[in-house]
Copies of this chain bind each other. A is one copy, B any other.
Amino acid sequence: MTFQRNDLLGIQDLDPEEITTILDTAESFREISERDIKKVPTLRGKTIILFFHEPSTRTRMSFEIAGKRMSADTFNISASGSSLVKGESLKDTALNLEAMAPDLIIIRHAVPGTPHFLAQCLKTPIVNAGDGAHEHPTQALLDLLTIREHKKSFRDLNVLIVGDISHSRVARSNIFGMNKLGMKVTVAGPPTTIPPFIEKLNVNVTYQYDHLIPDMDIIMMLRVQKERFNQPLFPSMREYSKLFGLTLNRLKNARDDVLIMHPGPINRGVELDPLVADGPFSVILDQVTNGVAVRMAVLYLLCRGTLEQ
C-alpha cells in the first residue's frame, strides 16, 4: 500500500496512484459484504466519530456500516444535539472530540472548507463527507469504482454529467477524479447552473446534450434540488425535466453498454425517468453497494488498520 495521507479532504489533492490504491483496496473489501458473516476484525478497538451537520441517510449509514463491518466503534453526533447549539466554536468542539482519542472523524458540513479547517486544527484523520458545494470525495470514489467494475479501464471514456453543476459537490469531485484518470468530461445544464470558467477544469460545456448521447460511455445525472425551482436558476420543474431529464426516448441512440449513474436521492420524473432509473443501463444501486466498499477502504487506509488478524 502506498497511501501516506493523514486525511481525505478532496479528490483534487490526490494523484492517480492514490486513487487507484483506494479503489484496489475497496475492491478487495467488497466481498466482505457478500459474506454470511459480514465482519472482519481489521479496525477492532478503533473509535470513529461521524459528525454530520446536514441530514443524510445513505452517506452516514454507508460509513457506519463500513466501520462496523470492520469492527470499529462508531459514534454519531448531529449538530442539533451538540454543544454547537450552546455557542461553542467548531474548533473547540473538534478539539474536545480529539481529547477523547478518536482514530478518525468523518464530517459533513454546509460550509466549504470545514473539513480542511479541522484537518489543520487536529492530528486526528479527517474524512470529508461533503462540504457545501465543494467536494464529496467518497462519492466520486464510489462512482469511479462502479465505472471500473463495468468498464475495466478509465482511459478515454466519455462521460456526460447533467444537472446543476454549480451547486454540486458530486460533480466537482468527479470532474477532478475523472480527469486525473484520463476520462473526457462534458457537463450539461441550464446556463445559469454552469459556473463561469469551468473550462479551466478541463471539461467541455453544453447547454443541450441530445446530440452527444451516441458518444457517451457514461451519463451521470445529478439530483436537482426542488427548492431551487422557481428561483432564478430554473424557470420550472416541468421545463427542466423536458430539457434535461433523461428519458427512454433520449437514450434511443445511446450505446449498448452506456452506464446511467445518479448519486441519489433520485427525483423520479424530474432529472430521471423511472424507466431509465430502473432500466438495464442503470448502475445506481451498484453505486450504493460500492459506497460501503470504498468507505471501508478509506477508513482502513486512514486508520492504519491491521490486515494480518
Contacts and interface: CB of A to CB of B under 8 A. Distances in A.
Contacts of A73: 39, 65, 68-69
Interface in A257-272: 264-268
Contacts of A267: 87
Interface string A63-95: 011001100010101101111111111001101
Nearest to A80: B55
A265 B92 contact: yes
Interface residues of A, number: 60
Contacts of A1: none
Interface string A34-52: 1111110000111101000
Contacts of A82: 55, 57
Interface stretch (A96-104, A125-133, A169-177): A96-104
A92 B266 CA distance: 8
B96 A264 contact: yes
A97 B61 contact: yes
Contacts of A288: 96, 99-100
A2 interface: no
A289 interface: yes
A101 B55 contact: no
B38 A56 contact: no
B38 A100 contact: no
A38 B46 contact: yes
A142 B267 CA distance: 40
A254 interface: no
A147 to B, nearest CB: 17
Given A38-B45, A45-B37, A93-B265, A292 B55 contact: no
B55 A45 contact: no
B81 A56 contact: yes
Nearest to A270: B87
A251 interface: no
A5 B175 CA distance: 46
Contact of A92 (B39, B62, B264): B264
Given A86-B223, A86-B265, 8 more contacts: A33-B101, A38-B47, A47-B68, A55-B85, A57-B82, A57-B93, A83-B265, A88-B264
11 contacts: A34-B101, A37-B44, A55-B85, A55-B86, A57-B84, A58-B83, A92-B268, A95-B285, A96-B264, A98-B285, A101-B292
* In the complex, the 10 A-B pairs of residues with the closest C-beta atoms, listed nearest first: A37-B45, A88-B265, A39-B45, A99-B288, A83-B265, A57-B82, A99-B285, A33-B101, A68-B73, A57-B83
